[in-house]
């Protein structure tokens, strides 16, 4: 028996079922009433070495419910694809805001043990750093791409042998625009090295914007729907170029179907 507040991975699709009245000041309501409470509580758990899988998922579910209470609607599809592979996989996703980082455990961790590849600067961030580090991420910098590549391939391979699936954001940084040229093939390389599938994830999460002063504290816009779609698992063949292109195609097609082709770089 699991001890999650909700078990969302039971079905292929998740849609916000309760229509909440939009708040007058959604950003203020979300951060002051919900986010700070959740993050501070998670930090205390992390300090006590108690921020385990169950607590991680439950704090993720808290964020999910909290942003829904601002009036933001969440729509997730393709969760059955998570169950089509018994062992670890590599997830590759476009990266728009901190929201997907918070929400993925609500859906994926309930099926597969996951960890993130994160930037070193996030590991030392006062509010989110201790929580992020409590989940044993793979930490990379920005100064030496070759060193980062070897860190992900070597440490990632060790984690995969331990049964973990790895979540990688190949864009390296959050962006409102999906630029295929900036979507590197690191996830494909890691999957190929370990002979495991890759699962692409398409997301639209600009309902939680990126802040100008502090990136994590941007505008909450209830008029924008959050969309997440999990693709079919793909076995890496040859150099992996085909699977890399299919991952890019999956994300671009989803953005187009969702009516957000404006988020795809035309360059």
pLDDT digits (tens, 9 = 90+) for 16-46: 998 888 888 999 999 999 999 999 999 999 9
The stretch 219-227 carries a mean pLDDT of 96
Task: Tell me the three-class secondary structure of 185-224, residue by residue.
Answer: CHHHHHHHHHCCCEEEEEEECCCECCCCCCCCCCCECCCC
Q: Which CATH architecture has domain 23-258?
A: 3-Layer(aba) Sandwich (3.40)
Question: What's the pLDDT score for residue 225?
Answer: 96
Q: What is the DSSP letter of 97?
A: S
Q: How far apart are CA 240 and CA 28, in angstroms?
A: 45
Question: What's the pLDDT score for residue 81?
Answer: 98
The stretch 238-248 carries a mean pLDDT of 97
pLDDT in tens, 55-68: 999 999 999 999 99
Question: What's the pLDDT score for residue 111?
Answer: 95
Retrieve residue 266's tokens: 């035309």
Query: What's the chain's average pLDDT?
Result: 93
Residue (of 142, 135, 146, 156) closest to 51 by Cα position: 135
Question: What's the pLDDT score for residue 2?
Answer: 61
Question: What's the pLDDT score for residue 1?
Answer: 45
Residue of higher predicted confidence among 170 and 142 = 170
Max Cα-Cα span within the chain: 54
Residue of higher predicted confidence among 216 and 48 = 48
Q: How far apart are CA 90 and CA 223, in angstroms?
A: 32
The stretch 98-107 carries a mean pLDDT of 96
Residue of higher predicted confidence among 96 and 143 = 96
Q: With cut-offs at 50, 70 and 90, classify the pLDDT of residue 106.
A: very high
Question: What's the pLDDT score for residue 267?
Answer: 54
Strands 198-204 and 90-93: parallel
Residue (of 159, 171, 12) closest to 84 by Cα position: 12
Question: What's the pLDDT score for residue 146?
Answer: 87
What's phi and psi for 95, nearest 5 deg?
A: -135, 110
Q: Edge-to-edge strand order for the sheet containing 138-140?
A: 14-15, 74-77, 226-230, 198-204, 90-93, 165-168, 114-119, 138-140
């Amino acid at each position: 028996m699991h001890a999650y507040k909700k078990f969302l991975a039971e079905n292929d699709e998740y849609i916000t079922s309760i229509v909440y009245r939009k708040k007058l000041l959604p950003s203020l309501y979300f951060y002051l009433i919900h986010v700070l409470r959740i993050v501070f509580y998670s930090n205390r758990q992390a300090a006590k070495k108690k921020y385990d899988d169950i607590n991680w998922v439950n704090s993720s579910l808290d964020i999910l419910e909290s942003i829904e209470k601002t009036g933001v609607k969440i729509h997730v599809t393709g969760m059955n694809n998570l169950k089509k592979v018994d062992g670890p996989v590599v997830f590759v996703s476009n990266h728009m805001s901190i929201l997907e980082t918070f929400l993925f455990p609500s859906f994926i961790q309930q099926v597969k043990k996951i960890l993130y590849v994160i930037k070193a600067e996030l590991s030392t961030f006062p509010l989110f750093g201790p929580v992020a580090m409590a989940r044993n991420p793979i930490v990379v910098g920005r100064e030496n791409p070759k060193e980062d590549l070897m860190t992900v391939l070597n440490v990632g391979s060790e984690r995969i042998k331990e049964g973990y699936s790895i979540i990688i954001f190949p864009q390296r940084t959050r962006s409102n625009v999906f630029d295929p040229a900036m979507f590197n093939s690191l996830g494909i390389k890691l999957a190929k090295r370990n002979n495991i599938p890759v699962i692409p994830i398409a997301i639209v999460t600009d309902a939680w914007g990126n802040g100008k002063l502090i990136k994590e504290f941007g505008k909450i816009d209830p008029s924008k729907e959050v969309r997440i779609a999990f693709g079919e698992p793909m076995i890496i063949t040859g150099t992996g170029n085909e699977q890399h292109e299919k991952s890019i195609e999956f994300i671009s097609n989803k953005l187009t179907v969702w009516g957000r082709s404006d988020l795809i770089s035309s360059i």
